[in-house]
Structure 1
């Protein structure tokens, strides 16, 4: 009998230590050892969509809450983190599976969605309707609002139905965190 991988959505607080370890191993493997501890920390505290085959996590994405400034207001943002598929399982639609669930969470719980994409992953998000942020990016750093020009080309956003219109050419400012702020 052939086992079918299962999709699961769970809050960080409901992950077992073994599941957290499995996610961390997947991210290390998928990102060729470049997924830092700060990157993993960014993926914690929110919702995780996972595809599992037995005890093996074969795909993962997380959405965590962040606060963004845009257009003279603060926005509750569902920020996508740690999207990965095990190299042996790629090309079978599992990235789309976890993103379907993460986008559902964003659409029903946040003012907007955002993520920072690598060039390699950008096509996945553009194909799904995520839009490139065209304006300048900033962070509310410990020393005040600071420009983040190196991140300008990598930020993508998802407008939530019924939400306010975003001016994609205006400034977008994220909250501070350790490691990569975007």
Structure 2
């Protein structure tokens, strides 16, 4: 059985934060930026360790999404990665199960932007594709983010959602979604 440890960023000691960041750099083949890591901070981290080394990391952070005239509190999933030699063993699923519980019980919905490779994983877990247009609330106002179309997924948690309507995310540096 895979043991998932949940820890808030404030309680994640510096060596463990550095090890998690290194794991994600490796898991994303060097395509995990400083902004990507920053987006993973400030919430809860689900981590799996083997022999004192992290082999899996995922985080849920709060974001505001605008939908249907409402500002929704979203449990936004970030920084999901499993060490290459440990993939296919249920580590990702175990971490996601822990964070999905948080998203359903503490937020209006869960949300994430998936890489093409991860889409089957999230679909199999019950995440639903967002079919409407994506936007970001930027310093210049609401801006259409067409590059996010097809990559956004939601996990409903009790708030009615029209998945064909506009969805607007809050502003942040780096990839807004």
Give yes or no for the alignment of 1:176 onto 2:171.
Answer: yes
Q: Contact between 1:5 and 1:54, CA under 8 Å: does it hold in 2?
A: no
Residue-by-residue CA offset, 1:122-150 (whole Å, 9 max, x unaligned): 11100010000000000000000000011
TM-score (norm 2): 0.98
Find the partner of 2:138 among 137, 141, 159: 141
One of 4, 15, 36 as aligned partner of 1:7: 4
Question: TM-score, normalization: structure 1?
Answer: 0.95
Q: Distance in 2 between matches of 1:65 and 1:144?
A: 21
**After superposition, where does 1:97-176 map in structure 2 within 5 Å?**
97-160=94-157, 163-176=158-171
Q: Deviations over 1:62-92 (max 9, x none)?
A: 0000001000111000000000000011110
How far apart, CA to CA, are the structure 1 residues paired with 2:140 and 2:52? 44
How far apart in 2 are the matches of 1:64 and 1:164?
18
* Contact 1:132–1:156 under 8 Å retained in 2: yes
Aligned to 1:35, what secondary structure does the other structure show? coil
| Per-residue Cα deviation, 1:24-59 (whole angstroms, up to 9, x for no partner) | 010000000010000000000000001011320001
Moved over 2 A (4+): none
Distance 1:5 1:169 in 2: 37
- Aligned CA RMSD, in angstroms, stands at 0.9
Q: Structure 1 residue 107: deviation in Å?
A: 1.1
In structure 1, list runs of 5 or more residues that go unmatched. none
Task: Report the counterpart of residue 74 of structure 2 in structure 1.
Answer: 77
